[in-house]
Amino acid sequence: MVNIISELLEIGFTEYEAKVYSVLLKQNVASATEITKIGNVPRGRIYDILNLLIEKGFCVTVPSTVKKFKAVNPEVAIHNLIELQKRKEQRMLETAKKLQEVYNNQKDTTSPLDYIQILTSKPSIIKKAEDIAQNCNKIFRTFNKPPYVKKYDNIIRKGPKFKAIYEIEEDNPEDFINCIKSYNQKGEEIRLIEKLPLKFIISDENTIMFTLKNRVGLKNDLTSMVVEHSDISYALIELFEIYWERAITLDEYLKTINRKINKIK
């Protein structure tokens, strides 16, 4: 019985259909009540299952005082099922051709702004920045403004060059210095400047991500916009290089800090 049910499940029967048909194969004829008891099938489902088997050609009714059911010869039933599936497959192929015609004749619905993506939640912003960095092949440039997040710990890697300009944080210099030192030790080329116009990353020469402060009262105070467009990339790379030349190196910045500390002493 178990083997019969397993075989029926393999060819697409449901568990209850398999149980009912396996009972009918063992019996000459059987009533719904008898099938329910022998096959351990819920009484409330039995007639629905029998009607499905009749529709599929695996079962017929036998006229009598009490309505009974009989299994159709399996070879005949399965042959009929195969023919039915062949007709369905042919119908699906014909439908696919018609759908393909519609697809091929569709109007160009591409939006001129498909190269722009807006992100508003902090986790999605960080995840997108990491994805962009991971897919960088040549140079990963960044303008960094407070507040600083340790988001590059798993990003800086061998392969592309990482160049970063940081806006000097005056409020918490000790943490700021520790932060940028750790990035520098991991291979990031760092320069520092008093003020940056905005916060962004540029991956190679085609992907930019701006992060801007919201001017409206949203739960998250940052919104990021990802743009994949070479024209904008070239313009911002030029801007980056201008600020790179103006900015001071990490060593120069640390010397300045040390001089300030010595004056205070």
Residue 174 has pLDDT above 90, yes or no: no
Q: Same domain, yes or no, for 239 and 135?
A: yes
pLDDT score recorded for residue 125: 86
225 residue type, one letter: M
Q: Same domain, yes or no, for 133 and 211?
A: yes
Upper half-sphere CA count for residue 115 (Cβ side, 13 Å): 11
Cα 48 to Cα 87: distance, rounded to the nearest angstrom: 25
Could you say which of 20, 50, 77 is where a domain stops?
Answer: 77
CB atoms within 10 A of CB 232: 17
More confident residue, 243 or 156: 243
Residue 98 within a domain: no
- Domain at 18, CATH number: 1.10.10.10
- Domain at 259, CATH number: 3.30.870.10
Q: Same domain, yes or no, for 150 and 242?
A: yes
Residue 90 within a domain: no
Residue with tokens 């000790």: 174
Dump strand ranges (E) for 111-245: 116-119, 139-144, 161-167, 189-193, 199-203, 207-213, 222-228
Reduced to 3 states (helix: H, G, I; strand: E, B; else coil), residue 49 is helix
Per-residue model confidence as pLDDT tens digits over 47-71:
999 999 998 899 999 988 889 999 9
Of 229, 227, 202, 225, the residue nearest 120 (C-alpha): 225
Residue 110 has pLDDT above 90, yes or no: no
Domain with 204, as residue range(s), is 116-264
Cα 183 to Cα 196: distance, rounded to the nearest angstrom: 19
User: Is the separation of the CB atoms in 169 and 148 below 8 Å?
Assistant: yes
Could you say which of 55, 77, 99 is where a domain stops?
Answer: 77
Residue 72 has pLDDT above 80, yes or no: yes
Of 39, 73, 80, the residue nearest 56 (C-alpha): 80
Could you say which of 51, 77, 103 is where a domain stops?
Answer: 77
The tally of domains found in the chain comes to: 2
Upper half-sphere CA count for residue 78 (Cβ side, 13 Å): 10
pLDDT score recorded for residue 121: 84
Residue 94 within a domain: no
Per-residue model confidence as pLDDT tens digits over 236-245:
999 999 999 9
Q: Same domain, yes or no, for 181 and 260?
A: yes
pLDDT score recorded for residue 10: 85
Of 137, 151, 125, 132, the residue nearest 221 (C-alpha): 125
Dump strand ranges (E) for 23-149: 30-31, 59-62, 68-71, 116-119, 139-144
Q: Same domain, yes or no, for 73 and 134?
A: no
